[in-house]
Amino acid sequence: MRSKFIAGNWKMNKTVADAVALATALKSGFSAKPGVAAAVCPPFTALDAVGKVLKGSAIALGAQNMHASKDGAFTGEVAASMLLELGCSYVILGHSERRTLFGETDKSVNEKTQAALAAGLTPIVCVGETLEQRKSEQTSRVITEQVFGSLAELGGSLDKIVIAYEPVWAIGTGLTASPAQAQEVHALIRKLLVRLGGEAAAQKVLIQYGGSMKPDNARELLSQPDIDGGLIGGAALKADSFLAIINAA
Ligand code: PEP
């Protein structure tokens, strides 16, 4: 049976002082339970400080992006080795905000995914359709293209990734996919994973749901057979709501 994995994406929120306060509250309120893992992904500037607070706790550290190259002339970018040095075990890749606001493509997400795996980071690879795409019944096509494009040529490492299905129309809007809508896409992703890496690998991959997951809808979403956790935005910015979602898991 797959475990549940709840990760918080703090986006461009929290100064170092605010991040330390939130991480401290999470650490003191978190009680590790078998079968449930948790991580937080602060902005780059707060990774070091949050990592120090979380040391010795079961809450893991992740980043929100990285560059695919090992080092070099890439002003403003951060490499996998730099994230590892600060104690990161996860990195979010291809979030819809990166795809729509910063021009990321399946190809660049794929390069980053390969680089993260090679460095020993677990990528949380995001996919999801827009509202127009859902309304025009393009969801399966879009998800298929994103999964095959972002996860090409991972070889035997397919089972080392996490996928986040995040319908773009549900991110930060208060609109949530119904448990049935989310499960339908998660089941499709699982089938695509079988085609990419075989049944055994596909069954191991954790597929998170993201998009206005809150304490009051988490339990129902997380009880779907292919929903293995959540990638949480807004509700991850307060200790009580993030801890409540972990408890629901
Ligand atoms: C996200 O951006 O990854 C996300 C799921 O945000 P929210 O929970 O605020 O919808």
- pLDDT band at residue 71 using 50, 70 and 90 as cut-offs: very high
| Catalytic residue (one of 97, 104, 129, 166) | 166
Place of tokens 């070091």: 48
From 67, 95, 104, 186, active-site residue: 95
pTM for this predicted structure: 0.97
Angle at 165 between CA 160 and CA 171, to 5 degrees: 135
- Torsion sign over Cα 40, 42, 48, 53: negative
How confident is the model over 118-144, as pLDDT tens digits? 999 999 999 999 999 999 999 999 999
CB atoms within 10 A of CB 174: 9
pLDDT reported for residue 18 = 98
- Rounded Cα distance between 139 and 128, Å, is 8
Average pLDDT over residues 217-228: 98
* Residue-by-residue DSSP string for 187-218: HHHHHHHHHHH-HHHHHH-EEEE-SS--HHHH
Mean local confidence (pLDDT), 65-90: 98
Which one, of 204, 107, 211, 221, lies nearest residue 161 by Cα? 204
| 166 labelled catalytic | yes
Asked if 78 contacts 63 with a C-beta cutoff of 8 angstroms, the reply is yes
CA separation, residue 90 to residues 63, 65, 75, 116, 120 (Å) = 6, 10, 22, 9, 9
Distances, alpha carbon 36 to alpha carbons 7, 118, 166, in Å = 11, 26, 20
Please give the average per-residue pLDDT across 158-173, as a whole number. Answer: 96
CA 108 to chain centre: 17
CA distance 1 to 93: 25
Residue-wise pLDDT tens digits, 169-209: 999 898 889 999 999 999 999 999 999 999 999 999 999 99
Q: What percent of the chain has pLDDT over 90?
A: 96
pLDDT at 155: 86
Hey, which CATH number is domain 4-237, 3.40.470.10, 3.30.540.10, 3.20.20.70, 2.40.50.140?
3.20.20.70
Closest CA to 166 of 100, 83, 78, 241: 100
| Ligand 1 centroid distance, CA of 212 (Å) | 6
Rounded average pLDDT over 149-178: 95
What type of residue is 246? I
Residue ranges per structural domain of the chain: 4-237
64: confidence class by pLDDT, cuts 50, 70, 90: very high
Model pLDDT for residues 96-121, shown as the tens digit of each residue: 999 999 999 999 999 999 999 999 99
Choose the residue to mutate in 216, 232, 245 for probing ligand 1, maximizing ligand atoms within 8 Å of C-beta.
232
